Amino acid sequence: MDVEMTPTEIHPRVHVLLAGDAPLGVVIRRGPSKRVCTLLWDRTTDEFQLGQWLHGRIYERRSDLSRDGKHLIYFAMNGDWNGEAKGSWTAISRAPYLKAVTLLAKGDCWHGGGLFTGKGYWLNDGSGHTPFRDSRELRRDLKLRPSTYYGGECTGVYYPRLQRDGWTLIRHETLARRKAQTVFEKPAPGGWTLRKIAHEEAGSPPGKGCYWDEHQLDGPNGTLARPEWEWAEVDGDRLVWVAGGKLFAGRVGAHGIDEVELHDFNGMKFQPIEAPY
């Protein structure tokens, strides 16, 4: 599938978190740049439920969904540096909503976010958070942390999350000053391999952040390049991916990919929604 994009057409950025032990996911949809929302994805029925909107930014690569799909940890920034959350914060909420049951004020955009562990959550703490609201629903795991340090920003959470979820790190390449890429691979159905090329660069292409991904499929019939896939995963016996602000699912066959559009995230507009807790 090829997605045509004119120079003036910018689709929303869409990233997805999948629960490891439940057929659920949380979609993080951003656009315009200071508006972001979350949606719950029932991967059994492929139905979607809108969570909440935020006037600000969620750093999706510093976020995680608990294995049961019930809680979301995320790092966000709204630039209100005199506010109670100091302008940026790490929060734990009940998915797919954003209202924090645990709120840790940050005050800058270094580090932040975290990962769920078997005993609670690991906090990407760095220069420190200030506890503002705590909950007994999940406790901070002070013993467990990623075995490899990939830096304090997005890669420090994203790369350990990928490897925890079954991706194998193949290689890291420094291409130029402030430009690198890291390649991950994961077995896909039908004898194929899904390859994720994670870019880190300043001056990224239009519509991309300084961290962005593209994908390839390697299999019996050669390599299928899918540079338009901004997110992709293996979901049971199918592939799921995002392109052009839409979420698709499909299976790879001898003559290509049989695909179906699951949801179109284009055209969504901010609406105030209260969490039911």
Q: Look at residue 152 and tell me whether its pLDDT is greater than 90.
A: no
Of 7-11, 31-35, 110-114, 191-195, give the lowest mean pLDDT range: 7-11
pTM for this one?
Answer: 0.93
pLDDT of residue 50: 98
Helix (H) or strand (E) holding 188: strand 179-188
pLDDT confidence tier of residue 257, bands split at 50, 70 and 90: confident
Reading the block at residue 139, the tokens are: 């406790």
Dihedral sign for Cα atoms in the order 240, 242, 247, 248:
negative
CB atoms within 10 A of CB 227: 13
Angular region, 166: left φ>0, alpha ψ -120 to 50, beta rest: left
Q: Look at residue 8 and tell me whether its pLDDT is greater than 80.
A: no
Average pLDDT over residues 126-138: 89
Q: Where are the domains of the chain?
A: 13-264
pLDDT confidence tier of residue 206, bands split at 50, 70 and 90: confident
> 3-state SS string over 245-272?
CEEEEEEEECCEEEEEEEEECCCCCCCC
Query: Which residues are within 8 A (CB) of 104 and not within 5 positions of it... i.e. 6 or more apart?
Result: 89, 90, 91, 123, 129, 130, 131, 132
Average pLDDT over residues 94-118: 96
pLDDT of residue 270: 94
Distance CA 74, CA 91 (A): 6
Question: What whole-number percentage of the chain has pLDDT above 70?
Answer: 96
pLDDT of residue 177: 82
Average pLDDT over residues 87-97: 98
Q: Look at residue 20 and tell me whether its pLDDT is greater than 60.
A: yes
Average pLDDT over residues 126-149: 89
Distance CA 40, CA 27 (A): 6
pLDDT of residue 26: 98
Distance CA 164, CA 114 (A): 13
Average pLDDT of the residues of the chain: 93
Distance CA 217, CA 112 (A): 32
Torsion of CA 190, 262, 98, 144, to 10 degrees: 0
Q: Look at residue 148 and tell me whether its pLDDT is greater than 60.
A: yes
User: Which tens digits make up the pLDDT trace of 41-66?
Assistant: 999 999 999 999 999 999 999 999 99
Average pLDDT over residues 177-193: 93
Rounded to a whole number of angstroms, the distance between the first and last alpha carbons of the chain is 41
pLDDT of residue 7: 43
Distance CA 248, CA 45 (A): 14
**By the 8 A CB rule, do 68 and 21 touch?**
yes
